[in-house]
A and B are shown apart, each in its own frame.
Chain A
Amino acid sequence: MEARLRNVLPDQELIRFYEQMFVSREFEERCAEQYTKGHITGFLHLYSGQEAVAVGATAGLHRDDYILSAYREHAQAIVRGVDPKRVMAELFGKATGVCKGKGGSMHLFDPKLNFMGGYAIVGGQFPISVGLAFAARYRGEDRISACFFGDGAVNQGTFHESLNWAQLWQLPVLFICENNYYGIGTEVHRSSALASIHKRTCGYDIPSEKVDGMDVIAVYRAVKYAAEKVRETGRPYFIEATTYRFRGHSMADPAKYRSAAENEMWRARDPLPNYAKGLIEEGIATREALADIEARCRAIVDEAVTFAEESPWPDDGAVWEDIYV
């Protein structure tokens, strides 16, 4: 059998990908449970199924690179290093949350880790990522701006304005489209005249490629290459990662617009078991070692839930804080 994984990275790193994907999945599934218990309220958009994108892409970036995302961003934050306890506490609306309970699920943010936010207006993060890239260049910093978004965002004005702008000003922005084929309940071919999203960058002369977003190694390789290109040229690059969310758009969506056959087809491509199988087959990890990792991930998420439950609510007076400097 051809070794697909071995030598891409040291074994320890490859195993870490599994751990990061597993903790992300576990986190999301526990969020769903906590939502049904009423501990998490408001909007909740879960990432289950798309983990290979966040994990592979984050590994392909430098720690100094900015990451921005939309509102399905728990995994991107956690994989970048935001403490799951503080993310869960944010979802519970507690004062110990990463944004003191003022942001919620859709607005995670941690500038110490260069995680520059989850944005809940579709396409709102595009120009902000361009502005951050400009600031980095202006200040002579060696970093790029990585902007995650969904297939639904590519018909917003800010998408086109920002692609044009990034190329015009020659800014180091890496656009990463997570194409999960649905903007809420509308399939991509019902909203985009050209459904092959990566081709849409030709109007701005931005190089682009499509990658299998269910394959963490493929995403890692593509993003690493693209990020280096962006760093080297100071110009934008575009990746379309095709993926699938196993759940509805949000907890309010039973996803009846998708067929059982389609679900089954994508479930068979679940990035976690497939990657685990590869690790075992290539002798990078044993089933037992992976089981240990899974147990550790469950413990991390358990701890996050306990922390969130036991954390205090914000004081009423907090509503007047942190609006102005």
Chain B
Amino acid sequence: MFEMTYRDALNLALKEEMRRDPSVFVLGEDVALYEGSFKVTRGLLAEFGEERVKDTPISENTIIGVSVGAAMGGLRPVAELMTVNFALLAMDQIVNHMAKIRSMFGGQTFLPMTIRMPGGGGSQLGAQHSQSLETYFMHCPGMYVLYPATPADARGLLKSAIRDNNPVIFLEHELLYNSKGEVPEDPEHIIPIGKADVKRLGDHVTIVAYARMTVLALQVAEELAGEGISCEVVDLRSLAPLDEETILESVRKTGRAVVVEECWRTCGLGGEITSRIYEHCFDLLKAPVERVSGLDVPMPYSRKIEKVCIPQPGTIRQAVTKVMTGKY
């Protein structure tokens, strides 16, 4: 095992996959000479050269369209959108093209491409740079959506995404880039798409979370363990396809669930997961499912009030307490 950061784990995955397959290339704003806004592409230009590590104009829709064409033409593009917020400029190519092409052309082609997008809130970047848009992508069939919480998952999932023959939206949380964790040495250690991971076993309540919310859920679970509450933490990792079975299996065991999402509450993925729990486990539930979500507001800048809008360990703790006791 290595200890490395989430950023370095992603960087390693990119390097390993580029060494493994010459059809893999990287493109995006500032990814080559500048080595990426978050330095995830550090060292790539030096090792792989100008044709495989491409700086692009600030043309997000065309970054994705060019990736679609390149994928159709036999390459395996890994595009970086500087942040998930800018994906909104590329939604035409993502939703109308990338996600449709295989189906509307009767399965005659496929798009082995990955779009990396840093995102999430909590860095005081203001309303236009702090969004959690995972649900936007999950809503649309024809592509996968991954969002790792740990360095090991970041590396293993990115490798899966690059090797997969379907389009993959690969989200990275900006506040996790410096987080450290153990990563297996084996370069073939890949994390399958569509498999959630039970990051902590427990008996009393299931906390379903993803990305940075998983990290917070694990902190809360650790604290509550000392108070006699045993939390099981299901880390989704793959938002689409969603590993419904792992979620339901855990809830069937504990009989209680808290679903944590960083995105806005209205039509958020927490609503979808909660609904599936009710559809399949209604009779087994010992308490109503609790949802912890980002507030339905444009993100404010000031750190005092930004915090209010993003789930915190305290809000997760309150929700767990509520499903355990029926009151805060």
Contacts and interface: CB of A to CB of B under 8 A. Distances in A.
Contacts of B70: 131-132, 134-135, 138
Nearest to B95: A121
B308 to A, nearest CB: 36
B274 interface: no
B103 A323 contact: yes
A117 B168 CA distance: 22
* 6 tightest A-B CB contacts, nearest first: A131-B69, A127-B65, A135-B73, A322-B107, A99-B106, A161-B59
10 contacts: A103-B106, A109-B106, A111-B109, A116-B72, A127-B93, A130-B62, A131-B66, A131-B67, A134-B75, A168-B57
B167 to A, nearest CB: 9
B104 A130 contact: no
A126 B69 CA distance: 9
Contacts of B75: 134-135, 138-139
Given A127-B62, A127-B65, A127-B69, A164 B57 contact: yes
B72 A131 contact: yes
Contact of B104 (A99, A110, A111, A162): A99
B64 interface: yes
B97 interface: yes
A111 B72 CA distance: 9
A162 B65 contact: yes
B71 interface: yes
Interface of A: 66, 97-103, 107, 109-111, 116-117, 119, 121, 124, 126-136, 138-139, 145, 157-158, 161-162, 164-165, 168-169, 321-325
Most A CB within 10 A of own CB, among B62, B68, B77: B62
B106 A124 contact: no
Interface residues of B, number: 40
B221 to A, nearest CB: 34
Given A124-B93, A128-B72, A134-B70, A99 B105 contact: yes
Given A126-B62, A161-B61, A164-B57, A110 B108 contact: yes
Contacts of B25: 138
Contacts of B165: 325
A269 B77 CA distance: 46
A131 B68 contact: yes
B57 A107 contact: no
Contacts of B71: 131
A322 B141 CA distance: 12
Contacts, number: 135
B56 interface: yes
B96 interface: yes
A107 B107 CA distance: 12
Contacts of A134: 66, 69-70, 73, 75
A128 B97 contact: yes
Given A107-B105, A128-B69, 5 more contacts: A99-B106, A109-B105, A124-B96, A134-B73, A161-B62
A165 B66 CA distance: 9
B51 interface: yes
B65 A128 contact: yes
Contacts of A139: 73-75
Given A135-B75, A325-B166, A127 B66 contact: yes
Interface string B57-91: 10101101111111111110100000000000000
Given A127-B93, A138-B25, A107 B104 contact: yes
Given A157-B61, A323-B141, A325-B110, A127 B102 contact: no
Nearest to B25: A138
Contacts of A126: 62, 65
B142 interface: yes
B62 A103 contact: no
A168 B96 CA distance: 26
Contacts of B56: 165
A130 B54 CA distance: 14
B223 interface: no
A321 B165 CA distance: 15
A158 B142 CA distance: 22
A315 B92 CA distance: 30
B133 interface: no
Contacts of B61: 127, 157-158, 161
B69 A121 contact: no
B125 interface: no
B229 interface: no
A126 B61 CA distance: 11
A97 B110 CA distance: 19
Given A99-B104, A127-B61, A161-B62, A136 B73 contact: yes
A296 B10 CA distance: 60
B243 to A, nearest CB: 16
B69 A109 contact: no
B68 A127 contact: yes
B305 to A, nearest CB: 35
A156 to B, nearest CB: 9
Given A107-B105, A110-B108, A165-B59, A121 B72 contact: no
Nearest to B63: A127
Given A131-B73, A323-B142, A158 B109 contact: no
Contacts of B54: 169
A105 B164 CA distance: 30
